[in-house]
A and B are shown apart, each in its own frame.
Chain A
Amino acid sequence: MDYLQYLRLDKMPHIWCDGCGHGIILKSILRTIDKLGWDKNDIAMVSGIGCSGRTPGYVDFNTLHTTHGRALAFATGLKIAKPKLHVIVVSGDGDAAAIGGNHFIHAARRNIDITMIIYNNYIYGMTGGQVSPTTPSGKKASTAPYGNPDMAFDISRLAQAAGAAYVARSTVYHVGRTDKYIEQALKKTGFSVVEILTPCPTSYGRQNKEGTAVDMMMYQKSNSVSIERAKKMSEEELEGKIITGVFVDKEQECYLSRYNEIVKRAQSIK
């Protein structure tokens, strides 16, 4: 397929660092959209702030670059105003779980028909490598130079608990599986979340001495465990492992249909 047909070529090459996985995820999204055969004008891509927030700037869809963490709030309004649009929210781990944490859990609770793709690189890359809610405990960041004392958020489990209709996690190394999960999420009616782990060699890798992008992707390869296999493993065995796979895939009533019912009921009252 030709990726360039979906890109704004005057904005390329992109600003992401060498070895940053964000480009790989963007390619996965474009490949899936190409496979589904959706028209460019029927897609809206919304983002917040951060490295991930640059994504809509490079793609030739209807795009919206919003305030930090509030991408889901803008996307909710967009979806209600134009229900025919396929709304895709791209968000980083800091954007989704810290600043936009409340929007995230409430969008999941509301089950509005939005696909959210979370680029989890464990750190705030753009602003200089500050600690994020998903930075693993003990890992270094520029605001935690002696190691992060906090426990890390598990975004997929959070989305699962908040009631999302589809939740899956993959890594940029497992590119085939990432494509499959994004396709399932885009097809799903309801709030669907795909969390993709991506290497940040510049901020996270450098501060934690994890090597180059290739080393970080090799780490993803050797430390990933599928959710089916993880169920048979003990907690000690799972320590430090990345659990990938589909966490939730269920049918539940979408917000838009409930909202339309209320509109009808309200209009029938004279």
Chain B
Amino acid sequence: MVMKKFPKITINEQWCKSCEICVEFCPKKVFDMGRFYPVVARPEDCIDCKLCEKLCPDFAITVTSPKET
């Protein structure tokens, strides 16, 4: 069986200001809010729409598609 590849989401905690926009607007609810920063709780649900990357005002989220790696 081929393992399903899902996008890699990285959060730059140095730049994140915890506005929670990614947590709220992710259509698949991939993120959970941690104590200070969002946590990628369900990476397998990610559909690679990159909305979190587009809506992050602090340039803190990077989504790398499986194709790009």
Contacts and interface: CB of A to CB of B under 8 A. Distances in A.
B58 to A, nearest CB: 6
Interface string B1-34: 0000000000000110111110011000000000
B57 A20 contact: yes
Contacts of A126: none
B48 to A, nearest CB: 14
Contacts, number: 58
Interface residues of B, number: 16
A54 to B, nearest CB: 13
B47 interface: no
A24 interface: yes
A24 B58 CA distance: 8
Nearest to A27: B54
B51 interface: yes
A239 to B, nearest CB: 27
A259 interface: no
Contacts of A4: 59
B15 A214 contact: no
B57 A217 contact: no
A19 B55 contact: no
Contacts of A214: 19-21, 24-25
Contact of A175 (B14, B18, B19, B51): B51
B14 A13 contact: yes
A19 B16 CA distance: 10
Contacts of B58: 13-14, 16, 18, 23
A234 B66 CA distance: 48
Contacts of A16: 57-58
A18 B54 contact: no
Contact of B54 (A12, A14, A22, A175): A175
A22 B57 CA distance: 7
Given A13-B17, A14-B59, A214-B24, 8 more contacts: A12-B59, A13-B15, A18-B58, A19-B21, A24-B55, A27-B54, A28-B54, A213-B21
7 contacts: A16-B58, A19-B17, A19-B20, A21-B57, A23-B58, A213-B20, A217-B25
Interface of B: 14-15, 17-21, 24-25, 51, 54-59
